[in-house]
Structure 1
Amino acid sequence: MGVVVNLEDGKREAASIKHLIDLTAADMARVNELILSKAGSDVEMIPQVANHLISSGGKRLRPMVTLAAAQMFGYSGDGHVKLAMAVEFMHTATLLHDDVVDESGMRRGKKTARMIWGNQASVLVGDYLLGQAFRVMVDVGSLDALDILSSAASVIAEGEVMQLAAAKNLETTEDEHFAVIKAKTAALFSAAAEVGPVIAGATRTDRAALRSYGMNLGLAFQLIDDALDYGGSSKDLGKNVGDDFREGKVTLPVILAYRRGTASERVFWKKAIEQNSADDTGLEQAIGLMKRHAAIADTIGRARHFGEIARDALAPLEATPQKSALIDVIDFCISRVS
């Protein structure tokens, strides 16, 4: 079973998270104003590099989750707007750094910043955005929120190093891969969801529910991304299909296909991933092996599993429009494949 991506995916996305977009629209307008303000600098290259990625059409899903989670518990004030901006800057900084580490040439359908301004500029502007994020967090005045987001920043960096250490290692286990994506992707989703109830003064139980929701949503989101790299399109991914394969990334579809494969198939994987011989012909063969061993289908199945855990985390909470919208986000993440 392969991945079939609906070519009308953009329309499906708009429909599936429309509730969240509508609920957070007014606050997101303030977030976007703050983003543009805080991305500014007298150093000309900083806003050029930052705005290249900021204005490139990302979904802004993480800050919307922060806003909805704060609204869900009746928060009134502007702290959630500032924290949502900080979350987006942390995410943007991570992307700038990721593209350097991965030597990526395309992001969100455009050349990466590193391809235009170079690796040094991408890393340093990412650092600048992180600094601005922390300044805004301090301005909010919540030590708990600062602790959550600063801890997430450390975990994300650990995840990057873990991934680097495991690069091209086909002996990576499924558990080891989950540890990487939990740190690299899910930690920020979790923090983004938890800081909402924190500044709203919600209970520890409510905080734990949103933390679990974000963590499992992030795991589902990343696993679907892993699957799409072998069955999506450049339009859907915002990067070249098969980039993970060409870069020698050992993602879950690769792990499953390698472990389930024959001895000769493992020789193919070792040559492609460990010996840097991945090309378009190899990509076709890789996808064929993944289909043969249900590696893509099972990756999607695991994503659905984490999506259900995220849904269950919210189940005990009072029914609100925000809760419904956050559940829609789970459905959106999974519906990127069909």
Structure 2
Amino acid sequence: MTANVSPTPTASPTPSPLHAVVADDFEAVNRTIVEQLTSKVPLVETISQYIIESGGKRLRPMLVLLAARSLGYQGDKHITLATLIEFMHTSTLLHDDVVDESHMRRGKKTANDAWGNAPSVLVGDFLYSRSFQLMVDVGSMQIMAILSSATCTIAEGEVLQLTNIGNPSVSEADYFETIQGKTAMLFEAASHSGAVLADATPEQAQALQLYGRYLGLAFQLIDDLLDYQGDADAMGKNVGDDLAEGKPTLPLIHAMEQGTPEQAKLIRQVIRKGGLEQLDDVLAIVHATGALEYTRKRANEMADKALVQLELLSPSPYRDSMAQLARLAVDRQA
């Protein structure tokens, strides 16, 4: 399906207080994103700009900036690195929305809904390719190794999630393996590569790698929690979207483990079938079994682990912002 009228892109994200310590860098990343979106094919630019400017927080590029600056980096290649991380993230969004047959993201039409599946997939490919061009510009084989490995892990995570759709036998360990690949890996790669760019010691590089991993896990856990208690307008998607797709996320896994046999049976049936016909029943079970509280507890555990990693860094406003980001990951409502 091709949109009759191209949706109008919104402005670049407004920097939050978390961006304050890297405000100039963040603006440089925004400018570089625009510069690197140029293409001789107009539709490539149109779709790329639409998805990149659709209101995301740009947390992953901010992690690059904060990690590099926290270790005293004074060059300018962190701008290129942050930009390519955003392109990698955006390409996964384009592909995910096609796979999930999504129609709304961040309160707006998805690119596949506006232009069709084929253009969305191909523009996602373009952004991935552009990100690898920018990796060459960064000029670090170690960073290229980190990011190329991350792309494989992310793809595996997405395939694992796809194969788990409609499967009520997914365990908590299986769930964490999935979200480590599909979400946490890019957070991890962002903070890890930023540290490597700044010539971190092996101990500092590992600390920032683990910080990104735990932050990404906390972020995804709260995303999955909000699917059962969030506000649709704030989230930019509908409550119950994961349930409609038959995704066995942690709230459902815990509810099946803690609920009565009858409650577990109902959730298993809904996961296999998908859809929202029994959303109210599932929500009642999720609340009755404490599944949301448990999911939030696990998210807080991940955030606490992220904070521990920051103890290996010298005190600085950049470290403070990373600590705030870990708390924000679990306190947010969207």
Note whether the superposition's TM-score is higher than 0.5: yes
Counterpart Cα distance in 1 of 2:258 and 2:167: 16
| Residue 238 (1) aligns with residue 236 (2) | yes
Per-residue deviation, 1:62: 0.8
Q: Deviations over 1:208-255 (max 9, x none)?
A: 010010000000000000000000111221211111111111110011
Displacement of 1:337: 4.7
Structure 2: distance between partners of 1:247 and 1:161: 15
Q: Secondary structure at the match of 1:315?
A: helix
**1:203, 1:271 → 2: CA distance?**
51
Per the TM alignment, residue 318 of structure 1 is displaced from its structure 2 partner at its CA by 1.0
Aligned to 2:158: 160
2:65 alignment counterpart = 67
> Per-residue CA shift, 1:117-175, capped at 9, x if unaligned?
11111111111000000100111101111111111111000101111111111100000
| Equivalent residue in structure 1 for 2:300, among 286, 304, 311 | 304
Unpaired stretches in structure 2, ≥5 consecutive residues:
1-13
Shift in Å, 1:316: 2.7
Give CA-to-partner distance per residue, 1:65-104, whole Å, 9 cap, x none: 1001111111111110000001100110111111111111
Match of 2:52 in 1: 54
1:333 is matched with which residue?
A: 329
**Structure 1: gaps of 5 or more residues:** 1-13
Equivalent-residue separation in structure 2 for 1:332 and 1:234 (angstroms): 19
The AA in structure 2 aligned to 1:236 is: A
- Corresponding residue to 1:283 among 264, 276, 279: 279
Deviation at 1:314, TM superposition (A): 0.8
Distance across 1 between alignment mates of 2:141 and 2:312: 27
**How many positions carry a matched residue from both structures?**
321
The reply on whether 1:210 has 2:243 as its aligned counterpart is no
With 39-48 and 257-266 compared, the bigger mean Cα shift is at 257-266
Distance in 2 between the 1:204 and 1:162 partners?
31
Deviations 1:192-215 (A, max 9, x none): 001112111110110001001000
| Alpha-carbon RMSD | 1.5
Kindly provide the CA deviation profile for residues 22-75 of structure 1, in whole angstroms up to 9, marking residues without a partner as x.
Answer: 111111111111111212211111111111111111001110110011111111
Does the 8 A contact of 2:165 with 2:245 survive in 1?
A: no
Secondary structure in structure 2 of the residue aligned to 1:285: helix
Aligned equivalent of 2:115 = 117
Separation of aligned partners in 1, 2:141 and 2:238: 41
Instruction: Determine the C-alpha separation between the residues in 2 that align with 1:110 and 1:337.
Output: 18
Using the alignment, how far apart are the partners of 1:74 and 1:239 within structure 2? 39
How many angstroms apart in 2 are the aligned matches of 1:62 and 1:304? 20
Q: Which has the higher contact order (CA 8 A, sep 6+)?
A: 1
Amino acid at match of 1:214: G
Distance across 1 between alignment mates of 2:302 and 2:268 = 30
Partner SS for 2:312: coil
3-state SS of the aligned residue for 2:56?
coil
Partner of 1:264: 262
